[in-house]
Amino acid sequence: MKGKVYLVGAGPGDPDLLMLKAAKILGRAEVVLHDDLVSTEILKLISASARVQNVGKRCGQAHFSQEEIHSRMVTFANEGLTVVRLKGGDPMLYGRTGEEMDALRRAGIEFEVVPGISAVFGAAAAARIPLTDRRIASKVMILSNHLCNGEDALIESNSISTDTTVVVYMPGADYAALATKFCAAGFNPQTRCLVVSSATTQHQRLHISSLEKLAATPNLPAPVLLIAGDVVGHPTDSECPAEIVRTSIDSLGRLS
């Protein structure tokens, strides 16, 4: 009798933001293969009898290759075990879930996807900025600045309208180049930006800037994402969480 694999989203880090269904599955899992970014608090929810392995990738370093992860999921499921592939954020967004589902299909393994809160939604909530606002932003563009071949993401000239909120996962350290791409794509240099490190966790840091000043952004620890668009400029000083105001004043002077 074959087991089953659950592809589970662990959310952005705060254990209180973990889906109830995900928590229940972790409590009865027999094997958990987790990403490196899954928080310790969430790992504590795993059954004490489960076999737990860190199969994550950080800064180009991998504990296991993607093919080895596929092999382990299939092998454990073929042994009749309940397997959880635990991923940060939502498994369907930059999580290689498509490849893993294909591997499970080829092996004839039953699987289920359990969604999680993606980091961008945690970051927007923490900063109290809407990703869309009918007055200024009707579109959201989500992209990664790190492609599987190691190249930076390409943004076509004049491809971004001013009513778009752009979200960049893994923006990298070259903020000057990213700002240049955004301006060439249609954004004004004064467009506001929010850089978020470790969204929703106790180590969360938020930094407000603009495209023309983005190069001066401090080097915040990964995981980092960037939100750019007029929605970032919507809150006033008094509406912003204290940590945003504090970081912004330190780096840029008083918010305008």
Dihedrals φ, ψ of 30, to 5°? -100, -25
- CATH at 94: 3.40.1010.10
Q: Answer yes or no: do 181 and 246 share one domain.
A: yes
Residue 173: give the domain boundaries.
119-252
Cβ-count burial of 242 within 10 angstroms (0-12 exposed, 13-18 middle, 19+ buried)? exposed
Residues 101 and 181 in one domain: no
Q: Are residues 248 and 126 in the same domain?
A: yes
> What is the pLDDT at residue 156?
76
Q: Which of 36, 141, 170, 213 is catalytic?
A: 170
At residue 20, the pLDDT reads: 97
**Of 53, 87, 114, which residue constitutes the final position of a domain?**
114
CA neighbor of 126 nearest in space, from 251, 217, 247, 36: 247
Same domain, 169 and 89: no
41 with 125, same domain: the answer is no
| 193 and 108 assigned to the same domain | no
CA atoms of 168 and 172, how far apart (whole Å): 10
The pLDDT score that the predictor gives to residue 150 is 55
150 and 214 share one domain: yes
Among candidate residues 99, 114, 129, the one where a domain is terminated: 114
Mean pLDDT of successive 10-residue stretches along the chain, which has 256 residues: 96 96 98 95 96 82 86 98 97 95 98 97 94 96 77 70 94 93 93 95 94 95 95 60 47 36
One domain for residues 103 and 146: no
Do 92 and 197 share a structural domain? no
57 is catalytic: yes
Specify whether 152 is catalytic.
no
What are residue 229's phi and psi, to 5 degrees? 150, 170
Last residue of a domain, one of 67, 83, 114: 114
105 and 124 co-located in one domain: no
Domain count, the chain: 2
The predicted structure's pLDDT at residue 145: 87
Q: What is the pLDDT of residue 227?
A: 97
Tokens 């990298």 — which residue?
172
* In a shared domain, residues 106 and 123: no
Q: What is the pLDDT of residue 159?
A: 82
CATH of the domain at 203: 3.30.950.10
pLDDT score of 172:
92
Structure confidence at residue 169 (pLDDT): 95
Tell me, yes or no, whether 57 and 179 share the same domain.
no
Which residue in the list 4, 57, 92, 152 is annotated as catalytic?
57
Question: Distance between CA atoms of 153 and 147, rounded to whole angstroms?
Answer: 6
Q: Is 141 a catalytic residue?
A: no
Name the catalytic one among 35, 90, 181, 230: 35
Q: Please tell me whether residue 24 adopts helix, strand or coil conformation.
A: helix
